[in-house]
Structure 1
C-alpha cells in the first residue's frame, strides 16, 4: 500500500532491544490520541518484550477541540507501557512565543492558524479573542497554567534512535544534524520534502499533511491531518522492520 525507498526499506534500523512508535500531529484530538495509544499498546504487547519508546512529533495543540486536555492527559500519566518523548512543533513554538515574547503581529498570526482554538480550550472569553487589541497580552496568556508552560518549554528539538531521527517538520539538507536550527526543525517544508539527499539518517516527521503516510528513502512523513480527517497515524520501528497503525483504518 505504501512505497518504501531503498534505504528506508533495507538499511535503517533501531538498536537491538528497542521498539519505537512515532505519533504524528494530534492537534487537539484527544479522542484519537486515546484510541491510537490503545492500539499501540496492544500492538506492543503482541510483539513481545522490548524497551518501548513513544515519540510524539509535535503539534499537540491548536485547531482541534481538546488542546489543554491533551497536556493534562500527559501530565496525569499516559499508558505506562512506554517511555514518552515530546518534540516541539511549530504550534507549540507559536504559543510559547506569545507567552514570553508577545507582539500584536505574532498574536494575529497565531490566532489565524489555530491559536484561537487553543485559547478557547483554556477558557479565554470570546470577547477577548474577538478583539484582542483591547486587552493586554496577559489577558490571553495568563489562562495557560504554569504546569502547562513548563511542559511545553521542556519539549525537545529532536530525538534519535539508531538510524532514525525524529523531528517535527524536517531538517535542512546538507547541514550536519548537530548544526540544524530549531526554526528549520519546526517549520521547513519544500527544501526538505523535495530533497533526495541522503541525510545519513531516515528523518521521521509530521508537519506536512498527506492523505497517506509517505515513506521515502530519506524520510517518513506521518501527519495524516487528524484534526480534519479523523486519521491519526503511528509508525512502529524495531530492528529493520517498520509498520503503520492508523485510527479509522
Structure 2
C-alpha cells in the first residue's frame, strides 16, 4: 500500500461491492508496508486505526513498519528509515516537506499520534487460515512455519522466491514487486508496486476459488479475473 490512501479506498470499495448480496462472513488480511514512499501514510494509518474498513481485518507487520518503530529508538535507525521511504511518511505527519533542521527523531515522536503508534506496535507478523499462511515477505524454506524468524517474515527474498518445495501451506505474501499477481503451487505473490504503479492488488479466497478483484468485479459476475483455488499443496 505504501502510503496510497487513495488506493486503500478503491480496494475497500471493491471489497464492499464484491460482498454485496454474498452469503457468509469475510475477513481481510493486509500484508504490511502500509506506510512510506507514498504521500498519504498518515491517512492510511489513521483510517485503519479507526477500523474504517468494510470487513474485520488484520494488518500484518511489514519491514517498513518495523523500520519505523526502530527509527523511534535511535538516530542511526532514523536516518536509515528516512532513506527507505520514511521521509515521505514524516512529511505526511508534519503536514508537508519538513523545514531544514526539523527532520529528526523528536519531530517524528511529537507528530505521531499515540493511537497510530499503538496500532503499528500491535501489528502481528503472520496470519493463518485453512491452507494459507499470510506474511509480509515470505518464509525460510525448510523451517516449520511456527519457527520462522521475524527477520525472514519481514525481509526474505531468496531462497524463498526460487523455492519449489511444499511449505505445508500456501504462502501469501508481498514485499517483492511483481507485474501482476503471481499464483504458484506453494505461494501467491501480491505486491504489484502500488506506490509507483497505482495498482493495489486484492484477491478473494473462498472454498471454491480465488478471485482477483478488479473495478469491473461484481459478486458472481462474469467479468471477474478468476484463478482456480486448486493449488498443488
Offset of 1:79 from its aligned partner?
3.2
Task: Say whether residues 1:115 and 2:86 are aligned partners.
Answer: yes
Specify the alignment match of 1:62 in structure 2: 36
Specify the alignment match of 2:158 in structure 1: 190
5+ long unaligned stretches in structure 1: 1-25
Give deviations 1:99-158, integer Å, cap 9, x for gaps.
1x2132x222211110000100110723136xx5xx5x3233322111111000000110
Contact 1:232 1:247 in 2 (8 A): no
Specify the alignment match of 2:59 in structure 1: 86
- 3-state SS of 2:137 partner: coil
Contact 1:32 1:247 in 2 (8 A): no
Question: How large is the Cα RMSD of the aligned pairs?
Answer: 1.7
Contact 2:71 2:79 in 1 (8 A): no
- 3-state SS of 2:136 partner: coil
Relative contact order, higher structure (CA 8 A, sep 6+): 1
Specify the alignment match of 2:194 in structure 1: 226
Out of 72, 76, 81, the residue aligned to residue 46 of structure 2 is 72
State how far apart, in whole Å, the 1-side matches of 2:122 and 2:214 are. 27
Q: 1:50 to 1:128 in 2, by over 3 A?
A: farther
> Structure 1 length normalisation: TM-score?
0.82
Alignment of 1:207-218 (within 5 A): 207-218=175-186
State how far apart, in whole Å, the 2-side matches of 1:247 and 1:91 are. 28
> Structure 2 length normalisation: TM-score?
0.87
Offset of 1:171 from its aligned partner?
0.5
State how far apart, in whole Å, the 2-side matches of 1:109 and 1:177 are. 29
- 3-state SS of 2:171 partner: strand
Specify the alignment match of 1:14 in structure 2: none
Specify the alignment match of 2:213 in structure 1: 245
Q: 1:208 to 1:90 in 2, by over 3 A?
A: same
Give deviations 1:183-204, integer Å, cap 9, x for gaps.
1101001211111110010000
Q: How many residues align?
A: 215
Out of 153, 156, 173, the residue aligned to residue 205 of structure 1 is 173
**More helix per residue:** 1
State how far apart, in whole Å, the 1-side matches of 2:74 and 2:4 are. 27
